[in-house]
C-alpha cells in the first residue's frame, strides 16, 4: 500500500526544510521531503573537502539580516560565530574596497583630486550615505558625474556583463539601483545589524532542522519526476523551478548559471580578504576564500573561483533568476496557471517564486507561507 503524507515537500533547501519543520512540529503534519540532490541544505550546502576544509559547494554564502524573527527562528538550530564580510576589487592594478567607498577613492586618485571628489560627494549627499551609481550619473554636478562614469566603467560594467552575459541596460533597473557607492570609510560589504555565520556550518544547522524529526521522512536523490505514484499526499510545497513543473508549457524562465573551480593551497591565507572581485580583468568574477567565511584555520586553504555561464536546463544548475521585466511577466503567467491548475500546490522559494532571495529572505518567506497555511488549515 502507498504511504500517505499530508504534505509532499519538493526541495530540502531553506524553503522546504523550514516548512517541513514547521508543519510537523507545529501542526503535527506528516511530511515527505524530497530533493534531487544527494544532500540536504540546497544551495547553502557545505561539506569538507579532501584537505579537511569546510567549503560552500554552491558558492560563498554569508549570512546577514536585519530581521530579528529570522535570527530567533534559526537560533533554535545553531549557535553563531561573528563574521563581517569584506570584499576588495582588483582595479587599475590595485585592490580597493567594494562597494566603492572613500578609501577606494583615496587609493585610486592622487590626494588633491581625491580630496576634491570627497568634498563634492559629502557636500551633495552627506557622510554614511549609500548612493546608487545611477543616481550619481544623473547628478547636476559635473565632477560627480565624471566620478560616477569612472566607477561605472572600472567597477560595475565589466562585473555586470560577466555576471549576467547582458548589457546593464538589458537588466531591470533594480540591478543598477542595488549597486551603491558608499560615502563612508566603513569597508564592510553589508551593514546589517546581524552578521554571523552558523558556528558549525550550514549543513549541520539543516541536519537539526530536518533530520530525525518526528513526522518527517527525507528522500534524497529523488526528483519530483521520480516520485510519480509511489506515495500519496494531500498537499504539496514545490520549491523547485515553476516552469519545469509545468513542463515549460509557457516557455523557459531564463537563469544564469555558475561554474566553481575549487583550488586548495598549502598556505594559511591565499588572498587579503574573504572575497576578491575582478571587475575588469579575467574571465571569472570573484575568488572567495572559505577559511575567512568559516573562521577555521589550517595549514591549507581552499578558494572558489567563480565563472558565470549560460544556463542549459538539464545540464547546469539554475542559480540566479535573470532580473528582466519580460522574465517577471512570464513568471506571473506561470503563477496564474498554478492558481488555475494546481490549487493544492504552494510554489515558493528561489526557484518557485523565480526571485533572488538572500537566505534571510528565503527563511522569512518560508515562515510566512507557514503562517498562511496555519491560518487556513485543511
Three-state SS sequence of 46-106: EEECCCCCEEECCCCCCCCECCHHHHHHHCCCCCEEECCCCEEEEECCEEEEECCEHHHHH
Interface contacts to ligand FAD, rule CB under 6 A: 10-16, 34-37, 42-44, 58-63, 223-224, 239-240, 258, 319-320, 349-351, 357-360, 362
Q: Hey, what's the cell of 303?
A: 578558494
Residue spans of alpha helices (H) in the chain: 14-27, 68-74, 102-108, 111-125, 133-137, 142-151, 158-164, 173-177, 202-210, 224-227, 242-245, 290-294, 325-341, 349-352, 359-375
Beta carbon of residue 246, minimum distance to ligand FAD (angstroms, whole number): 12
**Closer Cβ to ligand FAD, 106 or 200, answer by number:** 200
* CB nearer ligand FAD, residue 97 or residue 352: 352
By beta-carbon proximity to ligand FAD, the closer residue of 32 and 108 is: 32
Least distance between ligand FAD and beta carbon 245 (Å): 7
Of 37 and 154, nearer to ligand FAD (C-beta) is 37
Least distance CB 11 / ligand FAD (angstroms): 3
Residue 258 CB, shortest distance to ligand FAD, in Å, is 6
Least distance CB 285 / ligand FAD (angstroms): 10
**Cα dihedral 193, 199, 203, 205 sign:** negative
Cα angle value 185/172/327 (rounded, 5°): 140
Smallest distance, ligand FAD to C-beta of residue 190, A = 9
Nearer to ligand FAD (CB atom), residue 28 or residue 221: 221
Separation between Cα atoms, residue 319 and residue 165, nearest integer Å:
14
Q: Which is nearer to ligand FAD, 36 or 161 (CB)?
A: 36
Amino acid at each position: 500500500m502507498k504511504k500517505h503524507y499530508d504534505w509532499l515537500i519538493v526541495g530540502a533547501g531553506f524553503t522546504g526544510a523550514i516548512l517541513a519543520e514547521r508543519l510537523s512540529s507545529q501542526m503535527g503534519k506528516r511530511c515527505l521531503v524530497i530533493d534531487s540532490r544527494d544532500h540536504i541544505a540546497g544551495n547553502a550546502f557545505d561539506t569538507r573537502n579532501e584537505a579537511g576544509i569546510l567549503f560552500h559547494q554552491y558558492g560563498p554564502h554569508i549570512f546577514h539580516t536585519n530581521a530579528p524573527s529570522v535570527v530567533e527562528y534559526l537560533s533554535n538550530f545553531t549557535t553563531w560565530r561573528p563574521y563581517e564580510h569584506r570584499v576588495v576589487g582588483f582595479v587599475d592594478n590595485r585592490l580597493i574596497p567594494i562597494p566603492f567607498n572613500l578609501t577606494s577613492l583615496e587609493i585610486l586618485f592622487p590626494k588633491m583630486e581625491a580630496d576634491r571628489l570627497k568634498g563634492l560627494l559629502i557636500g551633495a549627499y552627506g557622510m554614511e550615505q549609500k548612493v546608487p551609481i545611477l543616481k550619481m550619473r544623473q547628478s547636476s554636478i559635473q565632477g560627480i558625474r565624471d566620478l560616477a562614469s569612472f566607477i561605472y566603467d572600472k567597477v560595475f560594467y565589466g562585473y555586470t556583463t560577466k555576471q549576467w552575459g547582458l548589457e546593464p541596460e538589458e537588466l531591470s533597473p533594480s540591478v543598477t539601483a542595488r549597486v551603491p557607492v558608499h560615502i563612508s570609510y566603513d569597508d564592510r560589504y553589508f551593514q546589517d545589524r546581524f552578521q554571523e555565520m552558523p558556528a558549525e556550518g550550514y549543513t549541520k544547522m539543516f541536519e537539526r532542522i530536518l533530520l530525525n524529526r518526528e513526522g518527517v521522512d527525507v528522500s534524497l536523490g529523488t526528483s519530483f519526476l521520480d516520485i510519480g505514484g509511489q506515495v500519496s499526499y494531500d498537499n504539496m510545497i514545490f520549491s523547485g523551478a515553476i516552469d519545469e513543473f509545468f513542463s515549460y508549457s509557457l516557455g523557459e524562465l531564463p537563469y544564469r548559471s555558475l561554474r566553481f573551480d575549487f583550488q586548495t593551497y598549502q598556505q594559511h591565507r591565499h588572498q587579503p580578504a574573504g572575497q576578491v572581485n575582478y571587475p575588469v580583468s579575467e574571465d571569472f568574477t570573484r575568488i572567495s576564500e572559505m577559511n575567512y567565511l568559516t573562521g577555521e584555520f589550517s595549514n591549507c586553504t581552499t578558494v572558489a573561483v567563480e565563472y558565470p555561464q549560460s544556463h542549459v536546463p538539464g545540464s547546469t544548475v539554475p542559480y540566479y533568476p535573470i532580473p528582466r521585466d519580460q522574465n517577471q511577466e512570464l513568471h506571473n503567467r506561470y503563477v496564474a496557471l498554478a492558481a488555475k491548475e494546481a490549487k493544492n500546490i504552494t510554489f515558493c522559494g528561489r526557484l518557485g517564486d523565480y526571485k533572488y532571495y538572500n537566505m534571510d529572505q528565503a527563511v522569512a518567506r518560508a515562515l510566512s507561507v507557514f503562517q498562511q497555511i496555519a491560518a487556513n488549515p485543511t
